Amino acid sequence: MQRIRLRYTKRGRLRFTSHRDFQRAFERALRRSEVPMAYSAGFTPHPKVSYANAAPTGTGSEAEFLEIALTEPRDPASLRESLDASMPDGLDIVEAVEARTSGLADRLTASVWELRLDGVGLPEARQAVAAFLAAETVEVERRTKNGLRTFDARAAVVRLEALDGAFEGAADRPGLGACAILRLVVRHSTPAVRPDDVLSGLRATADLAPPVPAAVTRLAQGLLNEETGTVTDPLAPDREAVTAAPPTAAGLTAATGGSPARGGVPEGSA
Domains 2-99 and 107-231 agree in fold: yes
Q: Note the pLDDT of residue 166.
A: 67
- 170-190 per-position pLDDT tens digit: 434 444 578 999 999 999 988
The domains of the chain are located at 2-99, 107-231
Percent of the chain with pLDDT over 70: 86
Contact yes or no for 182/162 (Cβ under 8 A): yes
From 193-197, 213-217, 236-240, 244-248, the region with the lowest mean pLDDT: 244-248
Cis ω for the linkage preceding 191 (within 30 of 0): yes
Class of domain 2-99: alpha beta
Domain covering 107-231 in this structure, CATH number = 3.30.70
Q: What is the mean pLDDT of residues 154-177?
A: 73
Q: Note the pLDDT of residue 148.
A: 87
- The C-alpha angle 117, 123, 126, rounded to 5 degrees, equals 75
- The C-alpha angle 62, 199, 120, rounded to 5 degrees, equals 90
What's the distance, CA 182 to chain centroid? 18
Q: How much is the mean pLDDT over the chain?
A: 87
CA distances for 129 relative to 112, 159, 179, 188, angstroms: 16, 10, 15, 20
Closest CA to 81 of 98, 64, 95, 67: 95
- 1-47 per-position pLDDT tens digit: 899 999 999 999 999 999 999 999 999 999 999 999 999 988 888 99
Q: Note the pLDDT of residue 67.
A: 97
pLDDT beyond 80 at 165: yes
pLDDT beyond 90 at 252: no
